[in-house]
A and B are shown apart, each in its own frame.
Chain A
Amino acid sequence: MKRLIFLLVGALLLAGCNVQENDPVGNQPERVDGAIILPDKAEPEDTVELKTVVTQGEEQVADAEEVKFAVWKMGSEEEAIELKAVHEQDGMYAAATEFNEEGIYFVQAKIDAREQHVRPLMQFIVGELTEEEIQEFMNSKQKEEKNDAEEGHEHHHH
């Protein structure tokens, strides 16, 4: 054991400079984040303002390369529409759209800023939900939860 330690200490001394440089995870730029702001409630045909505040740490990011919103109704992701958002002030980007029908929608902010890509996703309800829609939604939710509970450990290596 002692000999092993000596050997390793020796190796360590040789590698001294290397170790210094090795700052685990620390040398990465601070994370860009986006918060989506939506009204509490919306009715069909209303014009709804979609907003996102882009930040990097404490700093508001006003120089994002591109901010878009993708909007789709639950179950029809392939028909998603994309809206280009414009910078209003202090890192807030906005776009406006109309939701044609009642139902559960998804609003995703696609933010490309400072060489990072974040795409926060929010669920948004328009009008009143039918019982059927709620049921369908709950079913998909339940499956998800079941999935989380079922997932086993991932075995790796030998």
Chain B
Amino acid sequence: MNIERDSNYELEQSEKRKKNRKTKSAFYQSVWRWHFYAGLIFAPFLIILAFSGAVYLFKPQIESFLYNNQYYVQQADSEAISANEQLAKVSEAYPDSTVTSVTYYEEANRTTEFALSDQGVMKTVYVNPYNGEIAGEIETDKKFTEVFKKLHSELIIGGTVANRIVELAACWAVILLVTGLYIWWPRNKASIWGTILPRITSEGRTFWRDMHAVPAFWLSVFLLILIATGLPWSGVLGEQINRVATSTNTGYPDYAQSWAEKPESVVKTKDVAENVPWAAENLDVPLSVANGYVPLSLSDAAFIAENEKIEKPYTITMPQGDTGVYTIATSHSTPWDDATLHVDQYSGAKLTDVRFADYGLLAKSITVGIALHEGRLFGFMNQLIGLFVCMGLIGLIVSSFIMWKKRKPEDRVGAPPKAKDKKVSRTVFVIMLIFGVLMPLVGISIIIVYILDRFVIQKFEPLRKWFS
């Protein structure tokens, strides 16, 4: 008896409310319908994001295991050879390559990483810092974790469109959370069963409904944090957040990011070179073969890095062109250690030095958020929580799928029926549009779906029936 009643819980509830408070019921109906369609469309993407994210969380452990031979040296007792000597070994082994950056790690048994472009292929070459032997190489695109990163940010296919779809799914996940919480919200005679604890003894749709709604409630805060910390680096919304940060002066100061704009090295006049007697008489020699300032070597840059209290691992990026700079940056440890230094390539003078403390308030929160999102803010526990949330999300989607299957008629998609009250439908639509303004991609997607529905689906009877 009980089970029977429970399984008809939602229906009964809405029936009841229809009699009493028609509007409220229509509102519920309408929100549920949005929740249903949004879930149906974005579930596959959210599964991809959760799965790839769960794997990528453990990047340090996975890479250490997979690339043990490249990453670690057998013995680390003697003194390391200089950066220049290591660089020379790399140039010897890869004569046609261009080294773009070098990364040093804290652990004594870790190899030095030389990122290079070898005839157009980006790869990383690992050098034993004690004897200069090449421990191995990995092509950047083929790195195991790189694949998951690409899946997580660009669905493997890559490009702007894929990236926008990922952002769209993340934004819709926010709406799913909000609408879901509304549906979950206990209405009359609140009971802990079915709200904060599942009715495990129930069967059928009620059981699966509880398996969806109850854990979703528990996970909602974590999911929201995960989405909120991921969005700042998205293409559209992230850009907006950046603009707000800049205009409120709470963002990143200039030259805070190693991949962004850089200051320039001062090219000192090589006035001594103007009167080189032999240059005129001997050969047709350009002025560069003369007295004058020349770029510093990698060893000099490494020396400067060591003197600047920068936490390892840090990366030294080579200067590009005459006015280029050496960039020393770290952002892979905990966020408090973030540092980006630009160093004049001719004198080694520090041009800029931006640390975490120099960031604006919003930039600080974004930086901490990113570390939290990537599971490196508070160590292994952070990774575990991330994994738990990802698995939970996949679980939610599975339970919702089963719940839907149990309700779905053969010939139709089985969406919750449209609310009878047109005014309520419109109100909910306007609320969704507000979300659409906050998250521009959501707005665009709503408009597209609206047009599609209005001019395509409603015009074809079979489609109309299926979606009804």
Name A's B-contacting residues (CB within 8 A). 1, 3-5, 8-9, 11-12, 15, 18-19, 22, 24-25, 27-28, 31-36, 38, 40-41, 77, 104, 106, 108, 116-125, 128-129, 131, 134, 137-138, 141, 146-148, 150-152, 154-158
Contacts and interface: CB of A to CB of B under 8 A. Distances in A.
The binding surface of chain A is classed by DSSP as mixed
Given A119-B300, A154-B101, A38 B291 contact: yes
B188 interface: no
A17 to B, nearest CB: 10
B253 A24 contact: yes
Interface string B298-325: 0010011001000000000110110010
Contact size range, B: 35 or more
A61 B256 CA distance: 29
Contacts, number: 150
B277 A41 contact: yes
9 contacts: A1-B437, A15-B361, A22-B249, A33-B347, A38-B272, A120-B348, A123-B293, A148-B321, A156-B257
A122 B294 contact: yes
Interface stretch (B126-134, B216-224, B352-360, B457-465): B352-360
Top 5 nearest A-B pairs by Cβ distance? A24-B253, A158-B153, A156-B259, A120-B347, A147-B98
A141 B268 CA distance: 18
B44 interface: no
A120 B295 CA distance: 8
B275 interface: yes
Contacts of A4: 244, 438
B94 interface: no
Given A121-B300, A137-B289, A25 B350 contact: no
B233 A158 contact: yes
A25 B361 contact: no
A117 B303 contact: yes
Contact of B250 (A15, A35, A118): A15
B350 A31 contact: yes
Nearest to A105: B291
A122 B358 contact: no
A129 B278 contact: yes
A5 to B, nearest CB: 8
A63 B306 CA distance: 23
Contact of B275 (A40, A117, A129): A40
A94 B203 CA distance: 90
B341 to A, nearest CB: 11
Contact of B347 (A3, A34, A131): A34
Contact of B117 (A11, A77, A151): A151
A24 B252 CA distance: 8
Interface in B258-314: 258-259, 268, 272, 275-278, 282-283, 285, 288-297, 300, 303-304, 307
B250 A12 contact: yes
Given A3-B438, A122-B293, A129-B289, A117 B307 contact: yes
Contacts of B248: 8-9, 12, 19
Nearest to A124: B291
B360 A32 contact: no
Contact of A121 (B233, B285, B296, B361): B296
A148 B324 contact: yes
A50 to B, nearest CB: 12
A151 B318 contact: yes
A119 B347 contact: yes
Given A151-B318, A158-B233, A123 B292 contact: yes
Contacts of A141: 288-289
B110 interface: no
B122 interface: yes
B346 interface: yes
Contact of B100 (A8, A22, A128, A154): A154
Most chain A beta-carbon neighbours within 10 Å: one of B122, B257, B317, B361: B361
Contacts of A25: 253-255, 352-354, 358
Most chain B beta-carbon neighbours within 10 Å: one of A8, A22, A157: A22
Contacts of B376: none
Nearest to A158: B153
Given A15-B250, A15-B361, A40 B272 contact: yes
A120 B293 contact: yes
Given A15-B361, A120-B346, A154 B259 contact: yes
A76 B86 CA distance: 15
Nearest to A120: B347
Contacts of B192: none
B103 to A, nearest CB: 12
Contacts of A122: 291-294
A18 B347 contact: no
B249 A19 contact: yes
Given A25-B352, A120-B348, A129-B289, A134 B283 contact: yes
A73 B409 CA distance: 85
Contacts of B321: 148
